[in-house]
Amino acid sequence: MAAAAAALARLAVAFLLLVAQVACEYGMVHVVSETGGPKGKDYCILYNPQWAHLPHDLGKASLLQLRDWTASVLCSPPDVPARGFSNQIPLVARGNCTFYEKVRLAQGGGARGLLIVSKEALVPPGGNKTQYDEIGIPVALLSHKDMLDIFKSFGRAVRAALYAPNEPMLDYNMVIIFVMAVGTVALGGYWAGSRDVKKRYMKHKRDDGPEKQEDEAVDVTPVMICVFVVMCCSMLVLLYHFYDQLVYVIIGIFCLSSSTGLYSCLSPLVQRLPFGRCRVPDNSLPYFHKRPPVSLLLLALLCLAVSVVWGVFRNEDQ
């Protein structure tokens, strides 16, 4: 009975956590200069539609003054300027109090919206039902990096409009990724199959007899299964305890494998080129003693460079 009660309690807690999840959506803040400078630019924001909904059309959004109040965290009435935020969208710093306290003070000061600047990861501004009913202006989070770019690109006199464009029914980026993935697998399978057929035909023609079975069956024993399971579990445990170090080992293995795969795909095409067919001079170095063509060496360097560049710049913000 005690175990059953504990299980029910855990289920109840999980249900409450699921219900308490904060709704969040991504929106845009369209910024233009008041002095008629460069063309307007959109920046991504994270907002909670339970505070107030944003229009889906930019043409229906009000273009309001955007004021930098990030020197204040807007957590107490003295933080509100004497003239208030009449018809403005203030930018305030994140921290020291709840989102509700910030947006309540901003709304009381006449603001038409509130952007909270965050130097950390963006999280949805949450509250409870009573607070949602009390607030009638939108509140969203903007990254500190985007705020710096706004004032660098447009100066201090800027206007902004908050809106949330409708997401397309079909994401064309996913279509491209799907076509690339399926096309790569299909071409690779066709290529491997055609090479295997050609290889079997040449062997059959050379032997002038029935084709021999090349592949031998591999017996999977319980010992092999146990070793495989132990290796997988050990890798997971090591990743759990030494993730910060082993992740670079995995990235290195991935880069090496990807460069090898890219070389295997491009080498048949490079070998058909009419130039770069000269070979390495006679030597006793490993691999080089076979005198590979210079074009293949350059291809190997190119594939390795592509993997290294990806490994170095994989986390760069595009």
In tens, the pLDDT along 279-298 reads: 777 777 777 777 778 788 88
| Residue 96 DSSP code | S
The angle subtended at Cα 70 by Cα 65 and Cα 74, nearest 5°, is 95
Reply yes or no on whether the pLDDT at 150 is more than 80: yes
Q: What is the CA radius of gyration of the chain?
A: 31
d(CA 114, CA 135): 11
Structural domains of the chain in order of their starting residue, each with its CATH number: 21-163 (3.50.30.30), 234-318 (no CATH)
Report d(CA 263, CA 256) in Å as an integer.
11
Bridge partner residues of 139 (DSSP): 114
pLDDT confidence tier of residue 15, bands split at 50, 70 and 90? very low
Q: Are the C-beta atoms of 160 and 66 separated by less than 8 Å?
A: yes
Positive/negative CA dihedral, 169, 171, 174, 180: positive
Contacts (Cβ under 8 Å, ≥6 apart) of 54: 27, 47, 61, 138, 162, 163, 164
Q: Tell me, yes or no, if the pTM score tops 0.85.
A: no
Q: Using CA atoms, how far apart are residues 230 and 234, in angstroms rounded to an integer? A: 6
pLDDT, tens digit, for every residue of 220-279?
A: 788 888 998 999 888 888 888 888 888 888 888 888 888 888 888 888 888 888 776 777
SS3 162: strand
Asked whether residue 21 carries a pLDDT value surpassing 80, the answer given is no
